[in-house]
Amino acid sequence: AQTLAAERALLDAAGGSQGAGDTVRLRVPIYNSCPVSHEIGDLDIHHPLQSLGAWFERPGDLRAALEAYAPSRLRPPTHAALSAALDTLERAWASLVAVAVERGLFAADIDGLITAYEGLLRAATASLQTGQEVQHGYRVINQAWMIGTPSFESWAVMPLLHPLKLLWWRERARFFNDLIARLLDPAAPATIVDQHRYLRELDSTYGSSQFPPLLALPPGEGRPAECYLPAEEVEGYELYFRESVSAEAFGLDTDLLAQDENEVAAQRAVEGIAAVVQDYIETYPFVRDGLEIVLFECRNGALPGLLVERLTHIGARRNWKVRLSVIVHTTARGAPLFRRVSEWVQSERVQVVRQGGEYFPPISLKVIECSYEELLKTREDTDIVILADVLADRGQRITASLPTSAEGADETAVGYLPTYRAQQEPFQRGELHRQLLLTPPQQPAVARLFLLAQYAASERRAVRPDQAVRFYRELRLDEWEQVLGDLHDHYNWVICYDPTVDRFLMESTFPEKVQVIRYSLGLGAKRQHNLTVSSSHKAQDIVVRRLAARLAQMFHRATPEFLRDVAEQLVTHAKRVSGDIVLRAAGPGAFLNELIGLVVARFETERRLRAALPDALITWVLLDDFEHWFGAGKFPDLLCVAIGREPDGGLRLHAEVLEAKCVGQLSFEAESLDAQRQVRQGVERLARAFAAGGEHLDALYWYDQLYRAVIGNLEVEFDQQELWELFRARLYRGDFRFEIEGHSWAFCYDGQVGAGDGPEEHRFAGLSEDLADVPLVSHHYGRSELSQALRALVEAGNTQRYAPELWEPTPEELPSDEGTAETGAGASSEETPETPAESTNGHTELDQPPSELTPQVVGGESEPKDDGPEPAAAVTEPAITDHEREWLEAKARDLDRALRLRGVQAQRINAADADVGPSIVRFKLRLGPNESLKKLQAAAVDLARDLALVKTPFIDNVLGSNFVGVDIPRERAETVELRPLLEQLGTPGPAELPIILGKTPDGRLLVEDLAEFPHALVAGATGSGKSVFLRSVLLSLMTCHRPGQVELLIVDPKQTDFSFFDGLPYLWGGKVFTDPREARDALLELVRSEMPRRQQLMRGRSMRLKEFNQRFPAEALPPIVAMIDEYAQLLSIMSRKDSEQFERDLMSLAAVARATSIHLVLATQRPSVDVVTGTLKANLPARIAFQVPTNSDSRVVLDVPGAENLLGRGDMLFRRPSGETIRLQAPFMGEEEMQAYLAALAARGSGHP
């Protein structure tokens, strides 16, 4: 307003008026009367009058400046053409000033001013042709309306009254007017995909930043023009710095920007950097003892304090106690940085002094002024170094290309809202530089001619008005090669936050040294900053070794060379999507399986798309890098984008949303359903966000996000350049056909889970009604199909062909070494196991082996067991190798450190005291005097991450001692063989039913009397070892008893698990019941016939069958054990009313079973409350839980959580009727051995030798 008032005063002084606007001229101003830079405290365009002074009071005159060169440097025709155009422009400027002051800018003729300015630029580009004309003419014309010092020595401001900015201002006003109308139109309500983000990004999306993208001005009297680049924009006023100094001020410079602007720039930088530091702490949790961060060549004094403040808030929210040391490094700015850091410390926003009795303060800040070589001498293998707006100092320059003519027609000025932002060009393999296109492909003639004038001035070359220039910012890192190489040698992670940094540029500059593990684009207030997180190849080497070990469990015939080659190729494929996948696999957690699943899903998808769309550009996006697209909750893993061409030449975008799970049988069904949910959520968001046509109000934001996601991972071959140009030209206009699909991928590494010949595919639903036509496909791969897919993947990128037997999957019956940190097996990347709050791990085994029980036989003398199966080898304790001893000591140290990290006071753990069981190791520790067990149990989930475990450890008192036990998976599990244990069973007493349950963590055998239970509930998911355990119970009973001494009623609805027992002389009814109806009838016969018969026989003679058999051996009755393998399946054939009656009948049997010696063993895969009712549980006092899918399932069986964290393969929890809970490893017997053993038992029963 003051500028317009000053111009109107000058107009009035010249005798002009509103009515005379067509004839009165007003000189075009050059506002070059600002103080020189050293007289300005801060360049603050938020408060321009305070910072720049009253620039409008003594403006220069464009005509006068041009006339100064006219006599000697302009040819007469050139001078005449420019004078005529300038006459028109001066009249338009006078008209606009007169009307705007009286009635406002909306009423003024902005179109007339733009047209007149276009006329001046067209005259200049047509007539300025000689070297003298080009050199001196453009350097004057380009100064019109510019604010700066008399010589524009380092900076300039383009004001709102410049014709280009007025064009933006007018069109933005029109756009917002239309926007409000759409919002208020009840007939066609407008849609916004993400309202919160839309409002947040409104200013940056529709601001005038980088319009125009550069200026060419003389930085001193008589000097040739140089490029000036944008640094800050506020409501149409844009600050530009000369290219030689713009790198310093491009967002994070202490000296050149105002303090509040510094803080805003630093705040946006800290948002991305702090998130990376948080990931570092989660990846390497032990660094909480002392995390060191170096801000290398720090430029912004606000950055250290804001970073510490943000990390402190994150630590408080996550309940972390991190000891943080921040080194603020500079080579020449120690004084201003020290001042700003000291001011922040004095504000006491966080605690930076020692607390209590601690020797070190929780946070320390240090400012160091030294060379980078001196810095590195004092740092070796440190945590993180941050380079914030450092790389832009060197290695970037402005380049331009000038085609012979403009490409396509100019855009019309009316309706043109300049929302274009500098865009990266796609990567071409072998390049050592990247280019950012600064100029939009199409623009109005006035903007095109303006940029032609800037090109002519900076290059001192004549141009034609029909041409269009393209400006690029070219980025290189070769000048930083030595520094960045040294930093990667000395720091674990290198974070670069800079407009110059680029993932492909980093990888091509350091092909053998650096691995980019994270890459984000479009950060900062103007979306011009990128962020890379990189490290040396150490993390990749770790992943290759761990992945090879994981693959060794999947392919039991593989050789070490084969395993390493496959692992290296999987890592290479993962890096093509994102190094972050590899990074996560190097840290704690079960991410090795995730890596396998993501890579195979990507390979299978791309193989299909390459066949269907052979000419398409295909790229991949790791959606973890774009978490802000989805908000709260889970979201899918990957987005695949295929860019193609329609038959009519239009643009076609095909997108696929993917979620991949690579899990074991136990969690396959739940995880595959979870994958479908995540895919649905991703499709719901992205189908609307990237919808063609731009009908949603925030379409421009989402199209820009899609561009940045695609360009961040795309390599374009030379022959695909035309397709890429089509994508760039049409994307932002919404001029394309968009199609999207959702694909969930579930891979089972240890079983077939229903997958037969080839992968299973089926459609699933669940999308909103408006997206009902979007295809959703679920892919299920069993271990065989996974093996085939891996083989195809490896052979597709490798000339070597491996022998087919190397790809043979590990058979399902072979025990797998699950649960180690090296495998990551048995858990998905999303699992967050709960702490087993109330489980007990006490050693409450029988003090005497069962052979010492009184040897009595039902109805006769004690008999030696000399005619049964051949004796097996003696039982051996788990062997502890030197390697495992070292592993134990290392894990003990890790656990010690993790406990200290969690603030748990405990005596040092002695690895020699650990109990080494078949599948777990129990470390025993003594808590401090004032330390509680509950606090340690509450930290169990965190300990799992700290120790890189895939399951939450069991933590509880070791009964009978003052130790607390912490159970973790053994590095390599051992199988407990059943056959030798059966040989230890002696002859039982009357009505005794000894059964082998398993081995405790300290290696002792636990044998219980089933008659004392007297009933048991057994639960476990597929593959957990439940059926193997039930068979071992039957074998225990048949080993101890001859036929006639015990009777077995076996219900096997699956018809496979107990088929070997069919026809044995022990069986009630003479067979294994596989038909559910026959099984029900047999069980009801026990209830309604056998139980009353026994009661009547014993009535008045004895209260318990055990005493009855001793007193009346001639009438002795054998115990009966009814075993139901899948109780839920048995109930499924009954109506609800019938099942309730059946349960009541069984419970009446259970109530008197101890007396009549009829015992129930009920097993189920699905321990839900509708199957295992409260009444059923109350009558089944002994409970055995193998691995179950969820925390709720564990509570149903044991009344406490914990079974969801068991390792599978026979790892179990046994809850005695008294309430004690014991962890055991159940024994195992293979099929062939069991058949031979049963044959020997049958022969013994028939009297044959």
The tens digit of pLDDT for each residue in 1216-1236 reads 888 888 999 999 998 888 888
Q: Indicate whether 283 and 174 sit together in one domain.
A: no
Report whether 744 contacts 777 (CB < 8 A).
yes
Residue 872 in this model has a pLDDT that exceeds 70:
no
Q: Indicate whether 672 and 795 sit together in one domain.
A: yes
Residue 951 in this model has a pLDDT that exceeds 50:
yes
Residue 356 in this model has a pLDDT that exceeds 50:
no
> Which amino acid is residue 650, in one-letter code?
G
Q: Indicate whether 530 and 557 sit together in one domain.
A: no
Give how far Cα 41 sits from Cα of 254, 259, 640, 778, Å.
Answer: 12, 10, 50, 63
Report whether 1022 contacts 665 (CB < 8 A).
yes
pLDDT: which is higher, 408 or 849: 408
Dihedral of the alpha carbons of 1090, 1094, 1099, 1104, in degrees to the nearest 10:
-130
Q: Indicate whether 595 and 739 sit together in one domain.
A: yes
Q: What is the pLDDT of residue 13?
A: 83
Answer yes or no: is 1234 within a domain.
Answer: no
Q: Using CA atoms, how far apart are residues 494 and 501, in angstroms rounded to an integer? A: 12
Which tens digit of pLDDT belongs to each residue from 964-1019? 999 999 888 888 999 989 988 877 877 789 999 999 988 889 999 998 888 999 99
Q: Using CA atoms, how far apart are residues 1249 and 1246, in angstroms rounded to an integer? A: 9
Q: Using CA atoms, how far apart are residues 729 and 724, in angstroms rounded to an integer? A: 9
pLDDT: which is higher, 301 or 62: 62
Q: List the one residue out of 332, 315, 325 whose CA is nearest residue 384.
A: 325
DSSP state of 952: P
Q: Indicate whether 224 and 301 sit together in one domain.
A: no
DSSP state of 410: P
Q: Using CA atoms, how far apart are residues 551 and 825, in angstroms rounded to an integer? A: 11
Q: What is the pLDDT of residue 832?
A: 33
Give how far Cα 838 sits from Cα of 450, 459, 1192, Å.
Answer: 75, 78, 14
Q: Indicate whether 531 and 543 sit together in one domain.
A: no
Q: List the one residue out of 1134, 1133, 1158 whose CA is nearest residue 1146.
A: 1158
* Residues linked to residue 435 through DSSP beta bridges, in sequence order: 474
What mean pLDDT comes out for the span 1178-1199?
Answer: 88
- Strand 396-401, strand 470-476: pairing: antiparallel
Q: Using CA atoms, how far apart are residues 450 and 768, in angstroms rounded to an integer? A: 49
User: For residue 1141, what is the domain's CATH number?
Assistant: 3.40.50.300
- Other Cβ atoms closer than 10 A to 808: 15
Question: Which stretches does DSSP call E strand in 514-606?
Answer: 514-523, 529-536
Distance of CA 750 to the CA centre of its chain: 25
Q: What is the pLDDT of residue 29?
A: 96
Q: Indicate whether 203 and 69 sit together in one domain.
A: yes
pLDDT: which is higher, 876 or 1159: 1159
Q: Using CA atoms, how far apart are residues 130 and 135, in angstroms rounded to an integer? A: 9
Which tens digit of pLDDT belongs to each residue from 1011-1049? 888 899 999 988 888 999 999 999 999 999 888 889 999
Q: Using CA atoms, how far apart are residues 114 and 903, in angstroms rounded to an integer? A: 69
512 exposure class (CB count in 10 Å sphere: 0-12, 13-18, 19+): exposed
Among 1118, 1145, 1165, give the residue marking a domain's end. Answer: 1165
Answer yes or no: is 738 within a domain.
Answer: yes
User: For residue 890, what is the domain's CATH number?
Assistant: 3.30.980.40
pLDDT: which is higher, 407 or 256: 407
Question: Which stretches does DSSP call E strand in 389-526?
Answer: 396-401, 423-424, 433-437, 470-476, 491-498, 514-523
Structural domain range at position 41:
2-249
Q: Indicate whether 543 and 525 sit together in one domain.
A: no
Residue 740 in this model has a pLDDT that exceeds 90:
yes
Among 807, 823, 840, give the residue marking a domain's end. Answer: 807
Among 535, 562, 579, give the residue marking a domain's end. Answer: 535
Q: List the one residue out of 1103, 1123, 1124, 1120 whose CA is nearest residue 1158.
A: 1120
Answer yes or no: is 736 within a domain.
Answer: yes
Query: How many contiguous H segments (helices) and E segments (strands) does the chain have?
Result: 39, 36
Residue 431 in this model has a pLDDT that exceeds 80:
no
What mean pLDDT comes out for the span 484-503?
Answer: 85
Q: Using CA atoms, how far apart are residues 870 and 1237, in angstroms rounded to an integer? A: 9
- Per-position b or e across 261-287, b if 16+ CB within 10 A of its CB: bbbbbbebbbebbbbbbbbbbebbbeb
Q: Using CA atoms, how far apart are residues 1021 and 1026, in angstroms rounded to an integer? A: 8
866 exposure class (CB count in 10 Å sphere: 0-12, 13-18, 19+): exposed
Q: Using CA atoms, how far apart are residues 438 and 458, in angstroms rounded to an integer? A: 16
Residue 40 in this model has a pLDDT that exceeds 60:
no
Length of the chain: 1249
Q: 587 pLDDT band (50/70/90 cuts)?
A: low
Residue 935 in this model has a pLDDT that exceeds 90:
no
Report whether 537 contacts 515 (CB < 8 A).
yes
Q: Indicate whether 298 and 364 sit together in one domain.
A: yes
- Other Cβ atoms closer than 10 A to 597: 27
Output the six-digit token pair for 507: 């990888």
pLDDT: which is higher, 446 or 1090: 446
User: For residue 530, what is the domain's CATH number?
Assistant: 3.40.50.150
Q: List the one residue out of 459, 300, 470, 490 whose CA is nearest residue 378.
A: 490
pLDDT: which is higher, 437 or 853: 437
Q: 1132 pLDDT band (50/70/90 cuts)?
A: confident
Report whether 851 contacts 976 (CB < 8 A).
no
User: Which stretch of DSSP H or E encloses residue 784?
Assistant: helix 783-796
Q: How many structural domains is the chain composed of?
A: 5
The mean pLDDT of the chain is 82
Which tens digit of pLDDT belongs to each residue from 783-826? 899 999 999 999 887 777 888 899 988 876 544 443 333 333 33
Answer yes or no: is 1037 within a domain.
Answer: yes
* Residues linked to residue 327 through DSSP beta bridges, in sequence order: 294, 366
Residue 599 in this model has a pLDDT that exceeds 90:
yes
Question: Which stretches does DSSP call E strand in 524-649?
Answer: 529-536, 617-622, 638-645
Q: 428 pLDDT band (50/70/90 cuts)?
A: low
Q: Lay out the sheet containing 994-999: strands in order across.
A: 1005-1009, 994-999, 1221-1225, 1211-1215, 1182-1185, 1016-1019, 1158-1164, 1120-1124, 1047-1051
Which tens digit of pLDDT belongs to each residue from 506-538? 877 887 778 787 777 777 766 678 888 888 766
Answer yes or no: is 467 within a domain.
Answer: no
Q: 470 pLDDT band (50/70/90 cuts)?
A: very high
Rounded (5°) CA angle 248-253-255? 105
Q: What is the pLDDT of residue 860?
A: 35
For the ranges 86-90, 92-96, 352-356, the lowest mean pLDDT is seen at 352-356
Question: Which stretches does DSSP call E strand in 878-973?
Answer: 915-916, 920-925, 954-957, 964-969
Q: 616 pLDDT band (50/70/90 cuts)?
A: very high
What mean pLDDT comes out for the span 645-662?
Answer: 95
pLDDT: which is higher, 992 or 471: 471
User: Which stretch of DSSP H or E encloses residue 325?
Assistant: strand 324-330
Residue 1050 in this model has a pLDDT that exceeds 90:
yes
- Other Cβ atoms closer than 10 A to 832: 9
**Rg over CA atoms, the chain:** 39
pLDDT: which is higher, 18 or 1226: 1226
Q: List the one residue out of 641, 633, 630, 638 whose CA is nearest residue 684.
A: 630
User: Is it true that the peptide bond before 988 is cis, omega within 30 degrees of 0?
Assistant: no
Residue 1127 in this model has a pLDDT that exceeds 90:
no
Q: Indicate whether 526 and 545 sit together in one domain.
A: no
Residue 257 in this model has a pLDDT that exceeds 60:
no
Answer yes or no: is 369 within a domain.
Answer: yes
pLDDT: which is higher, 366 or 823: 366
Which tens digit of pLDDT belongs to each residue from 881-926? 777 788 888 888 888 888 887 878 888 888 888 889 898 999 998 8
Q: Using CA atoms, how far apart are residues 1144 and 147, in angstroms rounded to an integer? A: 93
For the ranges 392-401, 640-649, 826-835, the lowest mean pLDDT is seen at 826-835
Report whether 841 contacts 1222 (CB < 8 A).
yes
Residue 850 in this model has a pLDDT that exceeds 70:
no
Q: Indicate whether 531 and 640 sit together in one domain.
A: no
Q: Indicate whether 1001 and 962 sit together in one domain.
A: no
Enumerate long-range contacts of 811-816, CB under 8 Å, 24 or more apart. 811/556, 812/750, 812/751, 812/752, 812/783, 812/1023, 813/1230, 813/1231, 814/556, 815/973, 815/975, 815/1209, 815/1210, 815/1228, 816/553, 816/750, 816/973, 816/1208, 816/1209
What mean pLDDT comes out for the span 835-862?
Answer: 33
Q: How many CA atoms lie within 13 A of 201 on its CB side?
A: 23
Sign of CA dihedral 622, 626, 629, 634: positive
Answer yes or no: is 696 within a domain.
Answer: yes
Answer yes or no: is 219 within a domain.
Answer: yes
Q: What is the pLDDT of residue 222?
A: 76
Give how far Cα 734 sits from Cα of 653, 709, 852, 1233, Å.
Answer: 11, 17, 84, 68
